[in-house]
Structure 1
């Protein structure tokens, strides 16, 4: 059975191009095309597509408003197309706030190095989203959360409306009693949502430095780091070459580059390099994890969250060989169960944990609960 797709864009050329690419794959079928957000909301209700591709800037109703309305009326996996600019990054993150699950650059030459690769990537992303159910949020009792030690930027809702949800929380995680010097988290598709969900629950005095590796274009990582920094009690910054690791600070790998860590006296230091041209991912979880295994050995808690592919598996294998602890997000709470599945299936992860329980589990393991 084919995955039904609704294409939304005010450009007739782009609607036609995306439709052609989608229909080239026998597992995909375009069942409709909308020229603005208002039409997209109406067609989503009438056609019940399994995936929607959505432009951001459109007349009548913009893509962000359309995403919000679709997620309220007929929750559907949505892939955003955006420009690789600062404004495009901010708008894309706003779309993820509203409930979109993934994004791609609108210019196909920015997606990949050649036409065939770009076509394949778009088809893969659509299929990955089409295979996942979007769960309606479950009503839960309110939980008191301490006020941030510094004011949050804006009043955005949590990036969680469209996340898959487990039927019940995973079993409570008991702390192993092991001590750590570093937390490293790798993720891809669905990662911006997942990272915000986890990091906003950390206290300002979290005891270790945190490395964040999110597959994301270079134009997006400064805006994403800034957004997380405004919403979290810990500090979050885009990593820079030479940064000395500090407890309670998260360092986001810059898009288009590779982030490594090296020992510098009693602490660690960030090293940012361009990396080889043949690397599939920039940043790459494997590279950061591998460097952490050399710098910190077994004193690392590494977590692999939602994402396509298997990036992180080999780096996690090196970490585990050095004595580090590896956790994976569980299948039910992932947008795409690719990266976590890779480490779990290889026997590298010792725990598979639901996203809603991940922050609590990390805090317990780190001695903060």
Structure 2
């Protein structure tokens, strides 16, 4: 049975364009369109689509408010369309906080190198998030940690699918291994997943952290600033020459690649232009491989939710050096692609639910 999609945008041209692209795939069918957020809320309730594509700026009710209302009344996976501007980035992150699962740039020429590639990517994203069931659990907008009265008032958690009976309920036992770096790679569903993991780490976290999230360059500055406000650790967008410090997380800038130089304890980051032959900028494989050269086996690498297999080969190189590799489990992923690739290859020693990963990192790395 085809995946049923509701397309929401105040532009009739864009509604028609998205509908034509989705209807080209025999596994997708557009059941209706809506011109504003209020219509989207009403049609989500009456039509019960499998996926909704949603614009942000619309009359009557904006896309963020519509996502929040849909998640309360008729939870449905939502793919946001966003402009590649700083304000567009902030609005998109707000939409993800409200419950949206993923986003794409609204200008299709920003999505891919060709029209055919852009069409395929949009179709793939819709099919990927349609596989995830969404549950009602209203999530207030995140409040910066440093404005809160107590650490216990951390970011409200986004609901995830009911765990399987076999899901691990407690963090793995500490291995006793020594570490010098925490590296986390992710893609689709990553912004929310990273928030949940990083808000569990204390300000006294004893190691530097690198974050590789597939995200456009105009988004990573805003995302790093948001994480910094939510977390007890410090978070910044990585810059060329940054010296790695304990309790600091460095987010790879979109459109570039992040590598290491120097020796453990005095390593610096190198931020370089990405090769056009590499699909992902930033690329988890490239950063993980560089970590293997600089840190050897003294790395805990975690692969979170995301499409594709980026991170598998880099994780393989790390494991060959003696590093520890963890993957997010299938039940808690938005898209079980990247973690599955690592798990199926026999590289990950643990597959953990998202709710336990932060706690497990603290226990394993001796924070």
Hey, what does 2:348 align to over in structure 1? Answer: 349
The root-mean-square deviation of aligned C-alpha atoms, in Å, is 1.8
TM-score normalised by length of structure 1: 0.94
Shift of 1:131: 1.4
Hey, what does 2:62 align to over in structure 1? Answer: 62
Contact conserved, 1:80 with 1:95, CA < 8 A, in 2? yes
Residue 163 (structure 2) pairs with residue 166 (structure 1): yes
Write the distance in 2 (CA, Å) between the matches of 1:208 and 1:265: 11
Q: For residues 63-121 of structure 1, what are the alpha-carbon distances to aligned partners after superposition, in whole Å with 9 as ceiling and x for unaligned?
A: 00000000011111000000000000000000001000000000000000110000000
Alignment length, in residue pairs?
357
Write the distance in 2 (CA, Å) between the matches of 1:265 and 1:47: 56
Hey, what does 2:37 align to over in structure 1? Answer: 37
Hey, what does 1:245 align to over in structure 2? Answer: 244
Q: For residues 167-212 of structure 1, what are the alpha-carbon distances to aligned partners after superposition, in whole Å with 9 as ceiling and x for unaligned?
A: 5762321110111000000000000000000101110010000000
Write the distance in 2 (CA, Å) between the matches of 1:158 and 1:77: 21
Shift of 1:157: 8.6
Write the distance in 1 (CA, Å) between the matches of 2:80 and 2:98: 11
Residue 188 (structure 2) pairs with residue 193 (structure 1): no
Contact conserved, 1:8 with 1:53, CA < 8 A, in 2? yes
Contact conserved, 2:9 with 2:54, CA < 8 A, in 1? yes
Contact conserved, 1:159 with 1:196, CA < 8 A, in 2? no
Shift of 1:161: 3.1
Partner-residue secondary structure (3-state), 1:328: strand
Residues 78-89 of structure 1 aligned to structure 2 (within 5 Å): 78-89=78-89
Hey, what does 1:97 align to over in structure 2? Answer: 97
Contact conserved, 1:304 with 1:339, CA < 8 A, in 2? yes
Contact conserved, 1:89 with 1:219, CA < 8 A, in 2? yes
Write the distance in 2 (CA, Å) between the matches of 1:87 and 1:74: 28
Hey, what does 1:19 align to over in structure 2? Answer: 19
Shift of 1:272: 0.4
Write the distance in 1 (CA, Å) between the matches of 2:282 and 2:106: 20
Q: For residues 29-69 of structure 1, what are the alpha-carbon distances to aligned partners after superposition, in whole Å with 9 as ceiling and x for unaligned?
A: 00010000000000000000010000000000000000000
Contact conserved, 1:100 with 1:162, CA < 8 A, in 2? no
Hey, what does 1:229 align to over in structure 2? Answer: 228
Contact conserved, 1:22 with 1:28, CA < 8 A, in 2? yes
Unaligned regions of 5+ residues in structure 2, if any?
139-143
Hey, what does 1:151 align to over in structure 2? Answer: 147
Q: For residues 4-35 of structure 1, what are the alpha-carbon distances to aligned partners after superposition, in whole Å with 9 as ceiling and x for unaligned?
A: 00000000000000000000000000001000
Shift of 1:133: 1.3
Residue 318 (structure 2) pairs with residue 324 (structure 1): no
Write the distance in 1 (CA, Å) between the matches of 2:33 and 2:168: 40
Hey, what does 1:28 align to over in structure 2? Answer: 28
Write the distance in 2 (CA, Å) between the matches of 1:239 and 1:165: 36
Hey, what does 1:210 align to over in structure 2? Answer: 209
Partner-residue secondary structure (3-state), 1:267: coil
Residue 128 (structure 2) pairs with residue 131 (structure 1): no
Shift of 1:281: 0.3
Unaligned regions of 5+ residues in structure 1, if any?
139-146
Partner-residue secondary structure (3-state), 1:32: strand
Hey, what does 1:143 align to over in structure 2? Answer: none
TM-score normalised by length of structure 2: 0.94
